Chain A
Amino acid sequence: MERLFNPRSVAVIGASTNPAKIGYRVVANMVSSGYRGAIHPVNPKGGKILGWAVHPSVEAIDEEIDLGIVSVPAAGVLPVVEACGKKGVGHLVVLTSGFSEVGKIEEERRIVETAQEYGMRILGPNVFGIYSAAGSLDATFGPGGIVPGRVAIVSQSGALGIAMIGKTASETLGLSALISVGNKSDIDESDLLEYLLTDERTAVILLYIEGVKDGGRLVETLSRVTRQKPVVVIKSGRSKRGAMAAASHTGSLAGADAVFDDVMRQCGVMRAESVQEAFNWVRYLASTPEPTGADAVIVTNGGGIGVLAADACEEFGVGLYDDQAALKDAFSAVMPVFGSSKNPVDLTGQATAEDYAAALDAVLSNDRMHAAIALYCETAMAESAQFETLLRKVYKRYRGIKPIVFSLFGGKSIAATIQRLRSEGVPVFGDVYEAVSPLGALYRSQRRSHRRDDPPTDVKIDLDAARMILRIAGEEGRRFLLAHEAAQFAEIVGLTMPVSKVARTLDQAVEAAESIGYPVVMKVVSRDIIHKSDAGGVVLDLDDKTEVVDAYQAILKRCRAYKLDAVIEGVEVAEMIRPGIETIVGARRDPSFGPVMMFGLGGIYVEVMKDVSFRAAPIGPKTANEMIASIRSYPLLLGVRGESRKDTDAVAGVIETLSHLAVRCPELTDIEINPLVVYDQGEGVRAVDVRILFDAPKGVKRR
């Protein structure tokens, strides 16, 4: 990737002398960005563009070319790729649109195949180009004027990416790189992240994503990158309408947003709600030192806004220093008698600029105060001009030592102050939440980089035995396991299922119940009925023979009414296990990320409240425990109202084992244990029902 970001020579194929054309714009941007290498415009018409001779063809260039920028009509791209390949061009950026995003998948595939024959990599098609500070290279058709800096942006959207160029200029956000990935036919985010991880100029990475391809690789790459550099992601397609728009925009499926959200969190990536929020975060992350501790102090001249800031700190995970004695010591000298030295430190509306400066100095010089949140409400006691000078000075002192954010609240002059200070790179905002949010992102990033990884685990699974069960079912033309098969499968992976027997007649059912011992449960066994409860095919808590007889009849009647042509093989009679907390654990093949684990509380908590968490598989015990702790209903597992704490370690063990199974046995498409009943700590878990769906194992023919 080095030569993509720092090429020694660049060919612009489709260059133009017409300033209105993209082929001109790209050359102009390269020139104005101070690119030091050779520029080779290519156009059969020849001529000169901005002092550079235009070659009639790629072949006519008498020099090695590291990077080609292609801006020709779609029909002409493949011959250009062929020519560049023969020329030995290392990377090709195809600006041209009209490929897979409009359904021309075959044409796009041929471009990549041709490139691969020559060992050439393709960025695009359907991109706006690439900017790289390392090469002083602006090979985009954007507005130009990109300021070099420490933030790398990778964008799947062309128009949004170009608009971001303008925004980075107005926000004084310096970029180390700006790359448009477009259709991701070859080079994708993972490839770029590998480079940016080692790029010394890049301190923070911002991704704009609409759809994910090769999610497994993306997860692995992001997990490595975030240990060293913060990554912020904006992903669209969160809503149903958004997902529809994304699908028609990029031809890619947005995938379940909840899964994306959780998997990003798993990788240590911070997801911003908006472009503005993302910019606020990356700018702050790129220019702020890591805090040396978790305790921030709020300094304010208004009590109300101080409370808002405290709320914001809780929301964004920023800890507040609360040693009352130390706070009093530090601030009593600078505040009036009726002020408050509790955190938020309220200097009151009477505070002058000097009082303010002294309070912020107190935070800066105190080793136990690790970050400052400075709030100011416009008053007559400190003129905004005076304040502006003060904030510049304060920021200059804090910068490089301690994180600080400012929030100013007032009229026109305050708005102007904010604008001026922001253009100088001072982290100042008009809204308290907007101010605290980047500080929260900084702390999250720090926690991520300090997080110890899951130790490598050695989960033993008898895969051969598991595959044998799938093979036998596959030979019968089924893509799901019957109850007793699922129970065998579950035991292979170390899950204890209730004792059960399959009965094909009523007398067998009665015999089974008597031998297992009451109470028992009864479930229909039918290859045509997957959701047994929905069909009325499950009856619980049968205490005697009469109830067993009635239940048997009820199940048969209801299931036949549910699905007239269902083949009912019998019923499964099983021991009724004692009650506990019902959870659901599942592994599913996600279209974006491959095998993904799901955990939540079972029953209505899944279907109505949708209180579940997701993680990409495989996962270790630490991640499994984090997954369990992340659901809203987690306190129920900790024990409430006198209840004991539940055996979450056992649950984590099941999640971990299943995650490894999902990865090692890719023919499994869906495993769901619902419910997995959790007992008190030390008493383990019991799997009550297991549903398993799979693709046909290779080479299996239906008998």
Chain B
Amino acid sequence: MKSLIVASTREGAGKTSLSIGLAQAVGKRFGYVKPLGDRPLYRKKRLWDYDAALFSKLLQLDQEPETASLGFDHSKLRYMHDRRSVFAALREKLEAAGDERDVVLIECGKDLSYGASVFLDPLTISHETGHPVVIVAGGSENTIADDLAFVKRFVGTDEANVAGVIINKVVHLDDFRESHLPEIEKLGIEVLGVMPHQEELATRSVSTIADRLFARVLAGENGLGRTIRNVAVGAMSVDAAMSDALITAPDKLVITSGDRSDMILAAIDAGGTSAIVLTNNIVPPANVISRATEAGIPLLLVPGDTYAIALQVEHIEPLLTAEDESKITLLRDLVVEHLRVQAIEELVS
């Protein structure tokens, strides 16, 4: 039973989305393991990884998502395992995940060192199991070049089986191919493809925001699936807001204090508002809630102040859902167009 380890140089490189694309494009039946979970979902007193749940749905896996990970916090791994037992446990997971599957996709953490102290970083897993690692590199062109040069210089072939790299989220594709790719290839790195940045994949859904902020939904539950492309903080007067392009922008999230009835109504009337986050745990008057309900715009009540919430929203990454069919199809098509799918297939054959 074959496995493919997918790792990333840094957080936000797009490892999970790329893995989804690979699983769709490569003609194999994939199983899934995420040794050290990092996107916890806690439901009904059980903890599982968001990505594991997503893959479980997309790949129609029999396994329960909560069995896809060995743990979420380093403390648990230390509590339960040493080096020997962690790999014994990992092998068990791989075997279970590989049942009636061709390949097990092992998705590692946010960067190359994540999990190293508990032996679950991608290079240690590769060293221990012999499975190939594909590294996803993202960021600015210089960051990508630095990261890959670093890996090449310090990761010997004894350490891990680095089969190649995929360069992801490149803004100026042609420019990159001309200016930077040759330098990277000169390092002797196997480049399995260069993927362009796609605006469509960087959007977030209202339900993701609501979940991550632990928001209470006061109105517009049916709108939780809406997309957010822009974020506006409604701290100014309504007059000033109406002449701000952001308030009239489409697919926006407006963040304002719950007692700013004027701003809330302005956001509802301005059009293009996907949702409104109400800060300071202040519930607006009933007539304002009714207006939002009528307009189908979710009102998300959160306890923090506007600044803290805006900061949190800034850091919430776009997460795919199993219902994002168009995005999933787009990922598959991008992989087919820009990656050496055959080379990847050979890795796992």
Contact = CB atoms under 8 A, between A and B. Distances in A.
Given A541-B45, A547-B45, A561-B212, A552 B281 contact: no
Consensus secondary structure, chain A interface:
helix
Interface stretch (B21-29, B70-78, B199-207): B70-78
Interface string B252-291: 0000000100000000000000000000010100000000
Contact of A539 (B45, B72, B214, B304): B45
B250 interface: no
Interface centre among A539, A550, A556, A558 (most CB of B within 10 A): A550
A557 B45 contact: no
Interface string B48-78: 0000000000000000000000011101101
A14 B297 CA distance: 63
A534 B47 contact: no
Contacts of A562: 214, 312
A553 B259 contact: no
B71 A553 contact: yes
Given A505-B75, A506-B75, A507-B79, A550 B303 contact: no
Interface in A595-613: 607-608
B47 A554 contact: yes
A240 interface: yes
A557 B72 contact: yes
Contacts of A607: 281, 283
A11 interface: no
A553 B45 contact: no
Nearest to B312: A562
A553 B79 contact: no
Given A507-B79, A536-B42, A552 B303 contact: no
A550 B75 contact: no
B46 interface: yes
Contacts of B42: 536, 539, 550-551, 554, 558
Contacts of A553: 40, 47, 71-73, 75-76
A549 B40 CA distance: 13
A507 B76 CA distance: 9
A542 interface: yes
B75 A556 contact: yes
B73 A556 contact: yes
Interface string B295-308: 00000001110001
B73 A552 contact: yes
A507 to B, nearest CB: 5
Contacts of A535: 214
A664 interface: no
Nearest to A536: B214
Contacts of A554: 40, 42, 47, 72
A539 B71 CA distance: 18
Interface of B: 40, 42, 45-47, 71-73, 75-76, 78-79, 212, 214, 259, 281, 283, 302-304, 308, 312, 315
Interface of A: 240, 505-507, 510, 531, 534-536, 539, 541-543, 547, 549-554, 556-558, 561-564, 607-608
28 contacts: A506-B73, A506-B76, A506-B79, A507-B79, A510-B79, A531-B303, A534-B214, A536-B42, A536-B214, A539-B42, A539-B45, A547-B45, A549-B76, A550-B42, A550-B45, A550-B46, A550-B47, A551-B42, A552-B73, A552-B76, A553-B76, A554-B42, A556-B75, A557-B72, A558-B214, A564-B315, A607-B281, A608-B283
Given A552-B75, A556-B73, 19 more contacts: A240-B259, A506-B79, A507-B79, A534-B304, A535-B214, A539-B45, A543-B45, A547-B45, A549-B76, A550-B42, A550-B45, A551-B47, A552-B73, A553-B72, A558-B40, A561-B212, A562-B214, A564-B315, A607-B281
